[in-house]
Amino acid sequence: MPSLIDLRRRIRAVKSTQQITKAMKMIAASRLRKSQDRILNARPFAIQATHVLRDLAARCDPSVHPLLAVREEKTVLVLILTSDKGLCGSFNTNIIKAATQFIVAQGRRKLVLGLVGRKGRDFFQRRGYEPVINRVNVFQHLNLEDARGIADMAAELFVEEKIDAVYLVYNEFKSVLQQRIVTERLLPIAKEEFRADQGAARVDYIYEPDAATLFATLLPGYVRSQIWRALLESAAAENAARMTAMDAATKNATEMIDALTLYMNKVRQAAITREIIEVVSGAQAL
Amino acid sequence: MSLPTHLTLEIVTPERALAHEEVDEVQLPGTEGYLGILPGHTPLLTSLRVGQVWYRKGTEKFYLSIASGFAEVLPDRVRLLALVAERAEDIDLTRAEAEKRRAEELIQAAKSGNPDIDFDRARISLMKAMIRIQVATKAKIRN
C-alpha cells in the first residue's frame, strides 16, 4: 500500500499538470476565436476564386498561360500542412496518416514534398524525404507573405515543368469539434463541369485587357489565395484541436484527482483504524 | 435558350464577403473603362481598377468603392473578386478626407523632387481616397 505522503505528492503533481492543461485550453480558445474569424471571412473569396478559375479553365485555351497547362502527372508536389507544436490531440497524426496514404497511392509517380509545420517536417525528414519547400514557425503569426512565398515557389516549379501537379493535404476547419482532412489538387486547375442547360454558355470569354495580361496577375493570385486559405484553415483547425484535447486532458485530471483523493482517504482511515487497534490491544495486554 | 432575368451578384474580398444578391443591373470599373452589366451579358473576364461599383435592385441603387481585383461576368452571374472594397455606408468620410490630404501632400512633395516618395503609390492612394469620398457622398445624398 502506498504511503500517505506518496499519494499527496501524486495528487499535487496531477493538480499542477491540470493547471497547465487548463491554461493551454484557455489560450487555444482565445487563439481559436481569432483564427476562426479569419478563416470564415477569407473563405468566400477563396471559394469564388476557385469557381472563376474553374470556369476559366474549362473555357479558355490552356496555351495562354503556363499555369493553365495540363500535363501527364509524372512528378507530383504534395504540400502537407501540419502544426508546429504538439499537444493538439490527433491533429498531426491524422494528417500524416492521410498524407502517407496519399503518397503510397501515387505508386510509381515521382514525388516531391512541400512541408509546412515542424511536426510534418520532423516526421518526413526522419524517413529520409528531402522537401523542396520547408517552412516552420509560420502559424504563430500567419501573414500573406508566407502564403505568397509558398505559392510562388510551387507555381515556379510548375511553370518550369519540374512538377506536373500540386496537391494540398491539410486539415479543414469544419467546426470546433471537427476537423476534416482534405486532399485537393491545386494545379492544374480542375475544369468546371458544364451542366447541360448551360450548353450555349460554353464560349470563351471576352478579356479586358487581353488574356495574357489578365492571366499574368490572375493566376498567381489564385494560387496564393488557395494557399492562404489552406494555411488559415489549418491554423484554425489546430487551435480547435488543441482546445478540445486540452479540455479532455483537464477533465481527465479532475477525474484522476478525485480517484486519488478517495484512495488517499481510505489509506488514511485504514492507518487510523490500525493505530486504534494497536492502542486498544496494547492496553488490554497490560 | 431564354435570357436570364436577374443577375446573381457576389462581391468578395479576402477579408470578407460583401454581397450575395439577386440584382437587376451592375456597373463596375474595368481597367478599360466602366462597364454596365445587364442579365444575359456575354461571358467576360476583366481586371478592375480603382473606382466605384453600383448595383440596382428594382429602383434602389447601392454603391461601393473598390480597388483592384477582377470580375467574372456570366449571363446570369457576376462575381467580383476585389482586394479592397467597401460599402458606401461603411466608409468613414473624415478618414477618407484625411487620406486624401495626405496623398496630396505626398504628391506635392514628389513633384518638388523628393526622391523618397513613390509618386505612383501616392497617386493610387489619392485615387482611392477620392473614390471613397465620392461614393460616400453619393450614398448620403440618396438618403
Single out the catalytic residue among A88, A103, A169, A243: A88
What are A210-255's pLDDT values in tens digits?
Answer: 777 888 888 888 888 889 999 999 999 999 999 999 999 999 999 9
The pLDDT confidence band at residue B124, using thresholds 50, 70 and 90, is confident
Query: Whats the size of chain B, residue-wise?
Result: 143
Average pLDDT in the B82-108 region? 82
Task: Name the DSSP letter for residue A46.
Answer: H
What are A141-160's pLDDT values in tens digits?
Answer: 888 888 888 999 999 999 88
Q: Are residues B46 and A201, on separate chains, in Cβ contact within 8 Å?
A: no
d(CA A201, CA A108): 39
The pLDDT confidence band at residue B142, using thresholds 50, 70 and 90, is low
State the ipTM, two decimals.
Answer: 0.74
Q: Are residues B79 and A201, on separate chains, in Cβ contact within 8 Å?
A: no
Report all structural domains of chain B as residue ranges with CATH numbers, in order of start.
7-88 (2.60.15.10), 92-142 (1.20.5.440)
Average pLDDT in the A181-199 region? 70
Domain positions in chain A: 4-20+246-285, 26-194+201-244
Tell me the H-state helices in A60-143: 91-105, 118-126
Q: Are residues A208 and B81, on separate chains, in Cβ contact within 8 Å?
A: no
Nearest to B44 among A44, A205, A228 (CB): A205
d(CA A230, CA A83): 12
Alpha-carbon distance values, A21 to A25, A91, A249, A252, B123 (Å) = 6, 17, 7, 10, 53
Minimal Cα–Cα distance from B70 to chain A, Å? 8
Count interface pairs A-B at CB distance under 8 A: 74
Q: What is the CATH number assigned to the segment(s) A4-20+246-285?
A: 1.10.287.80
Task: Name the DSSP letter for residue A170.
Answer: E
Domain A4-20+246-285 identical in fold to domain A26-194+201-244: no
Q: Are strands B25-30 and B33-37 parallel, antiparallel or unpaired?
A: antiparallel
Please name which of A146, A72, A60, A56 lies closest in space to residue A110, comparing C-alpha atoms: A72
A60 is catalytic: no
With cell 455606408, the residue in question is B89
Q: What percent of chain A has pLDDT over 70?
A: 95
Is a pLDDT exceeding 60 seen at residue B143?
no
d(CA A42, CA A211): 27
> What pLDDT does A238 receive?
92
What are B25-77's pLDDT values in tens digits?
Answer: 999 998 888 999 999 888 888 888 888 898 998 888 888 888 888 888 888 88
Please name which of A156, A60, A57, A167 lies closest in space to residue A109, comparing C-alpha atoms: A167
Mean pLDDT of all residues in chain B?
83
Please name which of A76, A69, A66, A106 lies closest in space to residue A166, comparing C-alpha atoms: A76
Closest-CA residue of A relative to B73 is: A205
Indicate whether this model's pTM tops 0.90.
no
* 8 A C-beta contact, residue A47 and residue A223: no
What are A45-102's pLDDT values in tens digits?
Answer: 888 888 888 877 777 777 778 888 888 888 899 999 999 988 888 899 999 999 999 9
> Bridge-partner residues for B63, per DSSP?
B54
d(CA A54, CA A69): 13
- DSSP H/E element including A21: helix A4-59
- DSSP H/E element including B102: helix B93-111
Orientation angle between helical segments A211-285 and A91-105, nearest 10 degrees: 130
d(CA B109, CA B119): 9
Task: Name the DSSP letter for residue B2.
Answer: P
Q: Which of A45, A205, A210 to mutate to test the interface with B (most CBs of B within 10 A)?
A: A45
Mean pLDDT of all residues in chain A?
87
> What pLDDT does A199 receive?
47
Nearest to A206 among B14, B42, B47 (CB): B42
> Which CATH class for the A26-194+201-244 domain?
alpha beta
